[in-house]
């Protein structure tokens, strides 16, 4: 089983190619085009776990901000949200949204992935700015799931805050022709948007 906790952007195994490229395009230190292509391929390869004969159980706890931030622009974000909807409706993942109204919660400190295996001890991976850490100590891995208790303590999100809602999809994307001083996240040098001619 895999349990993902996402804050500002969606977990790698749930990302579309365009969304992944937008995220990696904002990496620091910056990635060159070849490095970015390699990283995108690797990320999409990991996402193929859903295509296996026995896909893992994946539970995703998503902060509402990760669904509303238009990474890559409106078109990329709409495609990404449709992808999440498809995975959810196919029962490949279970999602829960932590609403903005929750305020502070323990999962705001970093991205977190918990993994359990049939034939190996469980491991956890936490990720922050420019740093990631793999936790394989049984005591640490056992303690980390306590952070997920905030998931069960929150009320169900309103329909407009979930990726399953058309209203939620629309509100996640700014209107076309938004202010040029506020470009969407994910328009770095290895993002397709960076090479598109201006209209």
pLDDT digits (tens, 9 = 90+) for 65-75: 899 999 999 99
Q: Say how far apart CA 174 and CA 87 lie, in whole Å.
A: 24
Question: What percentage of the chain exceeds 70 in pLDDT?
Answer: 61
What's residue 133's pLDDT? Answer: 67
Sheet holding 93-98, edge to edge: 93-98, 58-63, 2-6, 111-115, 123-128, 131-135
What DSSP element (H or E) covers 88?
A: helix 74-89
14-67 pLDDT, tens digit per residue, is 999 999 999 888 876 778 889 999 999 998 998 888 888 888 888 888 889 899
Helices 17-24 & 33-46 angle (0-180, nearest 10) = 130
pLDDT above 70 (res 95): yes
Instruction: Check whether 106 has a pLDDT greater than 70.
Output: no
Using pLDDT thresholds of 50, 70 and 90, give the confidence band for residue 191.
Answer: low
pLDDT at 107: 62
Q: Which two tokens stand for residue 41?
A: 């391929």
CA-wise closest residue to 13 among 37, 40, 38, 46? 46
Q: Which residues contact 46 (CB under 8 A, 6 or more apart)?
A: 12, 13
pLDDT in tens, 120-150: 877 777 665 455 667 677 776 776 655 555 4
- Sign of the CA dihedral 156, 61, 149, 54? positive
Write down the mean pLDDT value for the chain: 72
Altogether, the residues listed in the chain come to a count of 199
The per-residue pLDDT for 173 is 44
Specify the range with the lowest mean pLDDT, choosing from 25-29, 97-101, 173-177: 173-177
Q: Is the pLDDT of residue 199 over 90?
A: no
**What local confidence, expressed as pLDDT, does residue 108 receive?**
57
Query: Looking at the 3D structure of the chain, how many domains does it have?
Result: 1
Q: What is the pLDDT of residue 197?
A: 40
The answer on pLDDT for 170 being more than 60 is no
Q: Which domain holds residue 72?
A: 2-195
DSSP string, 124-173: EEEEETTEEEEE--HHHHHHGGGGGHHHHHSPPPPGGGSTTSHHHHHHTS
* H or E stretch at 60: strand 58-63
């Amino acid at each position: 089983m895999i349990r993902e906790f996402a804050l500002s952007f969606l977990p790698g195994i749930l990302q579309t190619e365009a969304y992944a490229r937008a995220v990696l395009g904002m990496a620091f230190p910056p990635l060159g085009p070849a490095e970015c292509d390699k990283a995108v391929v690797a990320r999409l390869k990991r996402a193929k776990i859903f295509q296996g004969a026995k896909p893992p159980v994946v539970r995703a706890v998503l902060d509402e901000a990760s669904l509303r931030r238009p990474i890559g622009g409106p078109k990329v974000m709409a495609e990404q949200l449709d992808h999440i909807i498809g995975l959810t409706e196919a029962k490949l993942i279970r999602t829960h949204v932590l609403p903005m109204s929750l305020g502070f919660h323990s999962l705001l400190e970093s991205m977190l992935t918990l993994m359990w295996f049939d034939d190996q001890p469980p491991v956890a991976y936490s990720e922050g700015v420019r740093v990631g850490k793999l936790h394989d100590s049984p005591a640490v891995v056992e303690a980390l799931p306590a952070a997920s208790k905030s998931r069960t303590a929150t009320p169900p999100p309103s329909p407009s805050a979930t990726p399953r809602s058309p209203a939620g999809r629309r509100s996640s994307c700014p209107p076309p022709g938004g202010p040029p001083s506020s470009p969407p996240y994910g328009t770095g040098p290895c993002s397709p948007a960076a090479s598109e001619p201006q209209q």
